[in-house]
Amino acid sequence: MERLWRPWRINYVRNIESLRDEQCIFCSRPAQDDDAQSLILYRGDTTYIIMNLYPYNTGHVMVTPYRHVGELEMLEEGELKELMDLTSLAIRAIKKDMSPQGFNLGINLGKAAGAGFDEHVHMHIVPRWQGDTNFMPVVGDSKVMPETIADTYERLRKSLESLLQDGM
């Protein structure tokens, strides 16, 4: 049997229970001073773009409001508009840098819908490529990520900066 080493996952495995008990990541991350450490790619007025620390695919980001709110219909008009504006901006940045062939977008509302943090609304943006699903998740219960989170962060941050300099 061939082994697939994924040492970065040990932090998740060791801390899964403490992650459930800790403060909401969508509230605590923007309060930190270091956006690179927090994986925040862009800060808007009412919402921001953050990378998913445990991505489904390389380039998986989320857009979420600063305000701690768990229901989509509880978002204020400005938050809702900026949520979609930043979703569009993130898609353009990912397209520019990574050339995916498609995207999955989604908001999981409530635990029953699969929300890991069900008390804070967030939009998932997952880039997709033909053939990005293979036997590894099915047979090996593993997802092979071809790039580190830090490298993807830098690439997408530069892509966002370029788009913003060009006027979005």
- Is 9-165 a domain of CATH 3.90.660.10? no
Which active-site residues does the annotation give? 122
Share of the chain above pLDDT 70, in %: 77
- Give tens-digit pLDDT for 95-150: 999 999 999 999 988 887 777 778 899 999 999 988 766 544 444 455 556 678 88
pLDDT at position 167 over 80: no
Which residue ranges make up each domain of the chain? 9-165
The 3 state secondary structure assigned to the chain is CCCCCCCCHHHHHHHHHHHHHCCCHHHHHHHCCCHHHHCEEEECCCEEEEECCCCCCCCCEEEEECCCCCCHHHCCHHHHHHHHHHHHHHHHHHHHHHCCCEEEEECCCCHHHCCCCCCCCCEEEEEECCCCCCHHHHHCCCCCCCCCHHHHHHHHHHHHHHHHHCCC
pTM: 0.81
pLDDT at position 87 over 60: yes
